[in-house]
Amino acid sequence: MPDVQQTTINNSTIIFDAQIFAAPDEAIFDSQYWQTRDQISGTATGRGTTYFFWHNKQELVLRHYRRGGLIGKVISDQYLFKRLQETRAWREFHLLAHMQKLALPAPAPAAAKVTRHGPIYQADIIIKRISDSQDVFTLLCRGALTEQAWQTIGACIRHFHNHDIYHHDLNIHNIMLDKQKKVWLIDFDKCSVKPHESWKATNLARLRRSLDKEYSKQPHFHFSEANWQTLLAGYAAI
């Protein structure tokens, strides 16, 4: 389980797992720090660049929080500060730590930083990378998944729902499958513990829209109604 600790350096608050970073400073959130040590293992591009790097024989992921949509073109990475517990980095880190205690298949948190500039803040997070895995979108573009895989995806989502874990952006890009055929969920920014049942069917519907959207866009996308019904059967079986 994560050994969650917190420290303040200048105008930054750092939350960290002391088992991964014994005494972190702000430098660990700077990709140049890892590049100069030749520890960068790769990058991914989305709203910004995500960096993969090695530290103490563990592969980690460094992500800077950036806004999307129209506002992101004007204010790319600044957020209104109310209190630390409401910042996106703090919430994601502690949700990931909570899910580790529940043994849910989600990335483990390593560290997060919130830097305050008066009424605004900027933030970064470092998580453990899921080894030997690919997102299901990529896999479906290459070929069909087995019936067992679809059932396992449904069962995985149900495990999260049973613990009232609300995934704000449940789409086919945020579901991973590793070499042992284990299913993982990723990207828990803006997610939360959300009691009650009313949102869970809507959450599944969001995933279905994601699959339908990619099916209509991709020249080869191996998804069918039968696959969806198998996923739902896996969801219902838990």
Which residues are catalytically annotated? 169
In degrees to the nearest 10, what's the CA dihedral of 95, 100, 103, 107?
90
Is the CB of residue 33 less than 8 Å from the CB of residue 126? no
Nearest partner of 174 among 230, 136, 223, judged by Cα? 136
d(CA 188, CA 221): 25
d(CA 34, CA 235): 41
d(CA 139, CA 81): 39
Angle at which helix 225-236 crosses helix 147-162, to 10 degrees, equals 40
d(CA 232, CA 230): 5
Reading the block at residue 81, the tokens are 């500060």
d(CA 238, CA 225): 21
**Main-chain phi, psi angles of 235, to 5 degrees:** -65, -45
d(CA 92, CA 110): 11
DSSP lists the bridge partners of residue 124 as: 64, 113
